[in-house]
Structure 1
Amino acid sequence: MEMEYKTFRGNLKMPVIGLGTWGIGGGYWTPDCSRKAEWVALLRRAIEFGYRMFDTAEMYGGGCSEEIVGAAVSSSGLPRDEFFIISKVWPNHASYNDVLKSAKNSVSRLGTYIDLYLLHWPSREVPISETIRAFEKLIDDGLIKFMGVSNFDSRLLMEAMGAAKKHEVVADEVKYNLSDRFVERDLMPVAVRENIAIIAYSPLGTGSLLNPSSKGFEVLSRVASKYGKTPAQVALNWLIGKPNTVAIPKATSEKHLRENLEALGWRLSQEDVEQLEQAYPIT
């Protein structure tokens, strides 16, 4: 399946579907590299299927996830510029010097530069202006190409954008799926106006969307049958059809890797979009 792309502020070009790697290589700051070869092989298969964007973070497996992404990309035989790597710095490391240190460590584990570097969550201690200043130095030094934020509402996003002096904040990674559409009320109007990328994590609601007993599933299933697609493919297609939105579903099997890419190459009708949105109202 041929990948589709969207272009955002600052000439940021991103695949509309990538691969989330939370849980690959360990958990919350806890590395588990015992299955490293297996995970690298899975990501290599993802690359063969057509994935070009990987979302990771220093927190994921305490950096082991970054090592796995880096190993898969470097051993793929494809040019580095075909890939788009997202990584994130934890808010405990949001100070100027800590951001620089975290980024250097992430680049070392990845074995390459970072395309998009995000502040994982807003920091309660460090002003966003200090973090952004560090991000701008990282861009100047060639360690990262673009900078952004994650889990920021519209007010905090605008604050981050206002803090940028030399380069632009171009993305906000947030939880967004059919059953959790708050983004449309708060963040999306600003993102569309400013041409900011919305990177949707948990695009399938960590699986809850696909539970047959979940609210709205009957409509989701019916629409899927109409297109000869799975509920997951319809949910992803709905999401990437939204303005300024790309999705990073996690998949840990070849079956799901392939399934998610089948959300590409077609579009839901406006009538079916409206049916889905009535079944999954904004709360």
Structure 2
Amino acid sequence: MQTVTIAGHQVPAIGLGTWHMGDEPSLEKQEIEAIHAGVAAGAKVIDTAEMYGSGRAETLVGKAIKDIPREKLFLISKVLPTNASKDRMERSLDASLERLGVDEVDLYLYHWRGTTPLVETVAELQRLTEVGKTKAWGISNFDVADLEELWQLPNGSKAAANEDLFNLGSRGVEYSLLDWQADHKLPFIAYSPVGAPDQINTHLGSNPNVLEVARRHHASAYQVLLAWVVGHQQVLAIPQSSNAEHAKENVLAADIQLTSDDLNLLDEAYPAPTEKLPLDVL
């Protein structure tokens, strides 16, 4: 199984996303079972955020992990831009920790840039790391220019990861961002790695070329899409599923090794970018 190293921790390259989970009480049991199935299949990373369902996703994760040994998990949460100031961030993190039922998260991300000066946000992220409420901090929805600005700040280069939208139908980060992060030893976390409803390319899994590669590997189309994402250097994918069997299949996709012929077929359907594009966000 492919792995990624984040903040000194080696984790399987496919984790569990939780966006849109926890919103529907009638699905709680099923969603908890999906998280359990993903962890049982080998996932270690669970990615959530205070924004997701205004804390409901974190509450769901807390229920799901209460009987799982803490050392078996790598927990990621995120702070909203409106709470990313010196005055508000610790309160936000404390609330996330309470919903999750843990004393610390492994990685705390600045969800996207807001009006708080970046230098202030970074200073507070670093302070919360030093007091032990998070083991590491990072950023999300940052592009190359944002990261270059970040790297100029005190402690800015201590960022442990950057999380952005990345999938076969949204390849803009391949033009320069992935290389920048590789050069600076900054791991990349891919959200919506099999596509997302709000994207133009919403039917990646039904593309004939994707289906042909899936047939070759006796895999599902979604497994091929995930294998493609984590085939990139130091890229962690966090697909979301509320179905236990799908969650398991997602994690096992890290075992699929795509061939050069496979990659050519996927490139034919969804070509790599030939110029810098605006960062895709959801």
Q: How far is the alpha carbon of 1:107 from its aligned partner?
A: 1.1
TM-score, normalised relative to structure 1: 0.88
Aligned mates of 2:28, 2:244 — CA distance in 1: 16
Aligned mates of 2:269, 2:204 — CA distance in 1: 14
TM-score, normalised relative to structure 2: 0.88
Q: For 2:196, what is the secondary structure of its paired residue?
A: helix
- Residue 228 of structure 1 pairs with residue 218 of structure 2: yes
Q: How far is the alpha carbon of 1:276 from its aligned partner?
A: 1.1
Gaps of 5+ in 2: 274-282
Compared CA separation, residues 36 and 253, structure 1 to 2 (3 A): closer
Q: Which of 138, 163, 166 is 1:173 aligned to?
A: 163
Aligned mates of 1:42, 1:240 — CA distance in 2: 21
Q: How far is the alpha carbon of 1:115 from its aligned partner?
A: 0.6
Q: How far is the alpha carbon of 1:165 from its aligned partner?
A: 2.4
Q: Which of 113, 117, 122 is 2:113 aligned to?
A: 122
Which one-letter code corresponds to 1:120 in the other structure?
H
Compared CA separation, residues 34 and 93, structure 1 to 2 (3 A): farther
CA contact (8 A) 2:229 2:237 kept: yes
Q: Which of 7, 17, 33 is 2:14 aligned to?
A: 17
Match of 2:241 in 1: 251
Aligned mates of 2:98, 2:66 — CA distance in 1: 13
Tell me the number of residue pairs that the alignment of Structure 1 and Structure 2 aligns: 268
Between Structure 1 and Structure 2, the one with more strand by share is 1
CA RMSD, Structure 1 to Structure 2 (Å): 1.9
- Residue 185 of structure 1 pairs with residue 175 of structure 2: yes
Match of 2:32 in 1: 40
Per-residue CA distance 1:92-124 (angstroms, 9 max, x = gap):
11111211111111111111111111011111x
Q: For 1:224, what is the secondary structure of its paired residue?
A: helix
Match of 1:202 in 2: 192
Aligned mates of 1:167, 1:145 — CA distance in 2: 15
Gaps of 5+ in 1: 27-31
Aligned mates of 2:70, 2:125 — CA distance in 1: 21
Aligned mates of 1:219, 1:166 — CA distance in 2: 41
Deviation beyond 4 Å, 4+ runs, structure 1? 32-35
Q: Which moved more, 1:59-68 or 1:154-163?
A: 154-163
